[in-house]
Structure 1
């Protein structure tokens, strides 16, 4: 029989047992209740099935070249372009699992072993967040709070979301999402941007050590920033490699070998002002905004160019674009060096301006000040009085300015008065270049200037300058079309006037040849090859200015052109874009094809939103177009474009041959082209054509008073033609481009004689520089 004491002890023990189970079950129920309440959204919104299926992330719109390369992106804060799991290299995946979640494939969102270990060691044994939990945090609730209660509740929500993600997606999809969502800094949002920015390659090209470095950044990208903390990043990369060796993804020898290597960063920033095809991307920004305005989503809302992940497929060929940019850099850096040499304060006290008095320069400089961003900001944003804003231009200021260095764009930090920086920037020569397939209208290359970061005005489509002798083929084509003239027809090269009141002339117009040089009788082929003004004036007198303008309008030129005879010598201001489209009509057998830059646009799900429709119309007969092309071939056979053939290399001084980059070019295939040089050498042009590629180049100062003093360096054949030559040599060297080396196709029926070889008057002149056009008159 139990004693009273024993009974009491038994009752007390039972009470403790009941208390323990009540506390235990209460704790379990409390935890269950917390999870239930969290899943019901009591502690804050939780993503439902629809949101989990389509998590909201900002996606950059991608600009894709015709050869499948990314030219650039449009984005505000998130430079993110998602990739699929299949586009990730196995080394990258192995590095992630070994470092972040070694039991990833065996749990369902929460790693019980890891969580228990973290709880028992109070986090001393490492964190317990799975990849799914980290993805949940990245997607839906961000960083945790410092408040312990809020941190616990956020962790609960994170667990719930992780489990839901595991139910919603496959393991592979979770890994891909995690790589796509992470911010690797320096505009490297997601693995694709990170791979391109830090290593200059697509993710599937990453090697083992590159993969390890990027995975190491998951620890804390702000701390492990390759640009600011390369040593720390290397140490963290080596930790990842050690984890991979620990879990048998690599062997000990591989680990030791790779840990000794440098990071080998190839930093390639992706910004709106850097990278390839920057001027084209600037044009495309405007194109897309107009398209978005006129093409709403099915629900009536507008697409967001910077967040909706559009894909814009363009006609630009990334290889040809790179060749064009390289050609511009090679030539313009050399040409600029010569320009600076000729415009030192000793040689030109008004440098960089020529032919201007001090008062005229002061007026110009004040206008430049008022056009500057500095003036706009201080005067209109800060409401500073004009006189104080003007004074600020004469106070030394820290700034970063542009320079050419070793043939490449560069920058340097300096202290300079803003007024001096304006004069400094005005001294740089600019350029515009566009290359197009005449049959399809596809624009293959677009270079709007020497450096988009410092010179953003686009000289392909936005800027317009006098075209000089490159306008003359329009006069010749009109005469051939209207009068059925032949390249072999002869005209006197003697002084000629179109009298007062004819075609609206207020006085007689009597253009002169350069140097008052006249040559008796010339064929049309010879006259165009040598830019003979008098013969062009005679043709203009026969057909009239309005007839020429009517043709030019059909060739796609929309700029204003006054109906006066002097347009024959190139007085109109036209864009490179207009000129290339017009010349392409000659190469395309008389059919004008409007230049095309965008072929299609898709949304983030690859649904086609836009498909371009070619715009073409007949302008000239195929015979007239072909005869005009044969005339233009004469320019490279016996005129100012002869240097493309490589003849006469010894006739030029060594310093001059250096300036005309790439000379001698030694092209042997048929080339139709035309140089152009305007009065005072303010503008240099070259239009060059082969059967499947038409390219136009302009070079000049920002102001017409910024120019070379003499024709030697200031002619189109020295300023613009070398860019075409270097570009085409690169294009021909790349056999995959299939740039034509053959003849222009002749029409089936050709009634006009184009073979002038038997005519005594068709003697090739000396290989003189291109003569400037006499623009005196109207």
Structure 2
């Protein structure tokens, strides 16, 4: 052989030398990749124990997917969960020889090598097998300069061969479909099926499978959400390929092609989807919890990569109804709110409010760092106009506005918090932290504390009952001046008859401020504060007379905890929302049980009295519009609340099986409603509860909640409360009493004493 080469002409020798050198170079190049010169190659052990980052799933109480936490939205499933038409569509479109090769299509690899390396034709790719694509999905591609595509292709070929030796064809298909990227940062077929069609992979139809398979060619270009017509045409290509290779008949193909492309798109992003405020609070809690739970390797679990399953107490459909009720009412109330102010809204006229809002922006801080004054900064923020999309309850549209216009636009919006819990356990069923998480990140359930107004009065009256004041004790509604010159009055009420007295039920149901303070003073501020703490209030409470009118600032969760005691045998239950946490295999990592107080916060007799008093609030008091306007016939007890200058509206609704707390107001405490008729809790907050409960009533699924009735009141309790709602002083009392003098000098309020004959012959409290 060598002799023959020696005898060859010189040009032939040169050609052979070049060819041999090229072969040697190629072999050296290949083995340099094989042995990891361009990066460590995964060995057999690593490939046999493949684990990719998986999304943590958040499930409702019924097991429905609420949301996910992920870097890559991936949710793995097993081969048995893959419908046959999905597998066939994938093979027909991506790799028709999948079952015949061992991971590599040699002809395609040579074509890519020669065309890309020698001819610099970057469009020459293609021909990759499913196994090669799996290798790319698992390990990605790196930039190796001009030879990058070749290095990556060879690496993928080596990995593909190893994968084929370790895993069977079914396993490779499963791994591929669990890792392949789809549109909208979605990884894996199960996540894609959930995102685009809101269903499990196993339930996909033929045409839906074809849409998802078609997306693999170019996930953005064929995104059915953005480019539905392109996606439909690509779907039809997949159906044609399936027909071409005998997987479906002509009839099946034509029937599928005739169907419209219909998506049921589900947002699992941070800002969108169901319960975004809840999911954000849950995310914070999970990070703290997982820090205390080491995995089997002794490392801490990662919420974004370890594929955990978090079971919550949230009722999926109930949450939808709560969000709809909140948004529906706030959209109407917002219009009324803006119309009432006209062109004189504080968001337009109050420079301090505008300036404080501007200070929270990055643009303001940058201009401030350049030495500009506040006035100059506001002027600058008002100059730069551009097209922007502003939130406006579903009517968002691009408008030309400045940064200052945007700031002023968002100041004016009302916001809300809505929490529904199961009183017996404290399990949270709905959590609405605001009207739109994308634009208003502040969570009014977990982050906000606001003055609670008259929703604090039931605690005052409970303390009074616990300290011996009977439900048929009568108090005058006269205004009284207390230390410091404070004189509470009854909001919007005409001048009271100075000789008329009201029992506790009437005073609470009509939310009489003057009597609430007198009851507080008669009971003792310390006793009221202690009663609040027994009922689960943990915030510091001001020890002043005005606490009776709700000047204390509390969170919705605290209010909910306190009021659960009225529907749970006097025992407050702490709202909780995580029931258990599992790993991806279903192994229990942590479990959470209800936290119900061991001791009663008040007696059963007084619990029943308070329920009857709050029923009266709904049946004939400040919350009567639940009956008269919304026509609700459910068993309901409740309390409205309105704070000073109409800045906060509250409503607490108690039914035997569900407790709700609603707050409405603006994020800036300085902006209240223009009038009490708009801002009172009965108008601002109560309608959210009403719309929510009406929706529950229309769904038989919730009959156990909506048709529940409070247990019958004891005969002894009914007898204790059997008295006239109001009572006028007798002739001698009127003759001997000077109401004006009482108003000026009475510093403690106190019970109104009955006349001589009533004290002698009247019913004892």
TM-score range, shorter chain: 0.7 to 0.9
Equivalent positions of 1:236-635 (< 5 A) are 236-297=234-295, 299=297, 301-345=299-343, 349-352=344-347, 361-376=350-365, 379=368, 389-398=377-386, 400-404=388-392, 408-483=393-468, 485-486=470-471, 489-495=472-478, 497=480, 499-500=482-483, 506-507=484-485, 509=487, 511-512=489-490, 514-518=492-496, 520-617=500-597, 618=599, 619-635=601-617
Cα deviation code 1:105-132 (max 9, x no counterpart)? 3444345798799999999999543212
Q: CA deviation at 1:475?
A: 0.6
Q: What are structure 2's unaligned runs of at least 5 residues? A: 9-16, 729-746, 749-765
Q: Is the 8 A contact 1:187 1:193 kept in 2?
A: no
Report 1:86-235 matches (<5 A): 86-110=80-104, 127-142=126-141, 147=146, 151-235=149-233
- The 2-side partners of 1:159 and 1:644 are apart by 70
Question: C-alpha distance in 1, partners of 2:57/2:670?
Answer: 40
Residue correspondence of structure 1 range 589-738 to structure 2 within 5 A = 589-617=569-597, 618=599, 619-645=601-627, 647=628, 664-737=629-702, 738=704
What is the number of residues matched between the two proteins? Answer: 711
Tell whether the 8 Å contact from 2:359 to 2:365 is kept in structure 1 after alignment. Answer: yes
CA contact (8 A) 1:544 1:565 kept: no
State how far apart, in whole Å, the 2-side matches of 1:560 and 1:466 are. Answer: 12
Structure 1 stretch displaced more, 621-630 or 104-113:
104-113
CA change 1:689–1:402 in 2 (3 A) is: farther
Comparing 225-234 with 29-38, greater Cα deviation is found at: 29-38
Please give the secondary structure, in 2, of the residue aligned with 1:753: helix
- SS of alignment partner, residue 304 of structure 1: coil
Asked whether the equivalents of residues 756 and 762 of structure 1 are also in contact (C-alpha less than 8 Å), the reply is no
Give the match's secondary structure for 2:181: coil
Q: Is the contact made by 2:416 and 2:665 (CA closer than 8 Å) also made in structure 1? A: yes
Residue aligned with 1:67, SS: coil
Q: Distance in 2 between matches of 1:145 and 1:762?
A: 93
How far apart are 1:246 and its partner, in Å? 1.1
Aligned equivalent of 1:49 = 44
Question: What is the TM-score of this pair, normalised by structure 2?
Answer: 0.84
Distance in structure 1 (CA, Å) of the matches to 2:725 and 2:442: 48
Cα pair distance change 1:385/1:134, threshold 3 Å:
farther
The change in CA–CA distance for 1:510 and 1:228 in structure 2 (over 3 A counts) is: closer
Task: Return 5+ residue gaps in structure 1 as ranges.
Answer: 1-7, 14-21, 501-505, 648-663, 764-776
Q: Cα gap change, 1:190/1:453 in structure 2, threshold over 3 Å: closer, same or farther?
A: same
What secondary structure is seen at the aligned counterpart in 2 of 1:250? coil
TM-score, with structure 1 as normaliser: 0.82
User: Are 1:179 and 1:191, in contact at CA under 8 Å, matched by a contact in 2?
Assistant: yes
Output the aligned Cα RMSD.
3.7
In 2, Cα distance between equivalents of 1:573 and 1:531: 19
Could you say if the C-alpha distance between residues 151 and 576 of structure 1 is closer, same or farther in structure 2, counting changes exceeding 3 Å? Answer: closer
Q: Deviations over 1:540-596 (max 9, x none)?
A: 122111211112122222223101111111111212221111111111111111110
Contact 1:209-1:258 within 8 A present in 2 as well: yes
**Deviation string, structure 1 residues 732-751 (Cα, Å, up to 9, x no partner):** 3222233142322358x775
DSSP 3-state at the match of 1:589:
coil
Over residues 327-379 of structure 1, what are the superposed CA-to-partner deviations in whole Å (9 max), with x where a residue is unaligned?
0111111111222222222xxx34557xxxx6xx2222222221234334655
- 1 CA distance for matches of 2:97 and 2:254? 25
Kept in 2: contact 1:630–1:754 (CA 8 A) = no
